[in-house]
Amino acid sequence: KDWDYELIDMLGYPRKMFQKLIMPGTGIGHLSDKIREEVGFDVEVVVPATHDTGSAVLAVPANDDDFIYISSGTWSLMGIERKEADCSEKSCEMNFTNEGGYAGRFRYLKNIMGLWMIQSVRHEVNDAYSFAEICAMAEKAKDFPSRVDANDECFLSPDNMTQEVKDYCRRTGQKVPETLGEIATVIYTSLAECYAKTAKELEEMTGRTYTRIHIIGGGSNAGYLNELTAKATKKEIHAGPGEATAIGNITAQMLKAEEFKTVEEARAIIHESFGVKVHKE
């Protein structure tokens, strides 16, 4: 919960570059006179949990510790909340990180591929179809057998994502997808299997089993992917809210203003206020 000054000194950086760390929910002042005059009002500026994933995880509508979360968008941040960081060598080898959360919590998570692959494929057909339409096409092609490693570096920034998926299947001796529906079902199914693998790794690292996964952020609207994730992980999927980052940001401000007394109260209200859809295997 502070800068690693030993590492900073080893790298030769001046310590004065690194400002005082401020915890989420801290008021840091008001608008300047110039800004106040321009917008016509004054407001206290309150620090949320940062960056966007920190705010999103604050908006997870759950008040126990029996869940894994996926902050799902272009990327998927998949992990758990915990009170202490895990800086073990094994944790490092498995590519987990510890990021700050609200009220001193740690977001113990892995950054894995999200909907970037589908977004790229959609752009390659000139955004002619909505994500819902692409999901429907994928479901029609659900029996297509091929899979890819969604975290393979070849998918990070290819010249053409559609061609990269085809090439991967060809290189690995699998059936090559041809239609948009087949490409989409390969991507969605591969993502679900990646989530299942990460869930098992989290359970291995914590020595416990989790019964459900909360998917928050824009990716929570991908119903077909949510169903595949329920099937692959054999866990309940609770999808929503979609605008989790904005909700978590506002929640930190409302906690500062004592509109909510506790995080637990805030999360209970979030659960009641936004449609959370449950998917079961």
Residues serving a catalytic function are 52
* 3-class DSSP assignment, residue 72: strand
Which tokens go with 26?
Answer: 């801290």
Please give the radius of gyration of the chain, using alpha carbons only, rounded to the nearest integer.
21
- What is the spatial distance between Cα 266 and Cα 253, in angstroms, rounded to a whole number? 11
Tell me the CA distances in angstroms from 98 to 70, 179, 254, one per residue in order. Answer: 15, 40, 26
- CA nearest to 160, candidates 118, 120, 114: 120
Q: Judging by DSSP bridges, how do beta strands 97-100 and 106-113 pair with one another?
A: antiparallel
- Identify whether the C-beta of residue 69 lies closer than 8 Å to the C-beta of residue 61: no
Q: Judging by DSSP bridges, how do beta strands 67-72 and 212-216 pair with one another?
A: parallel
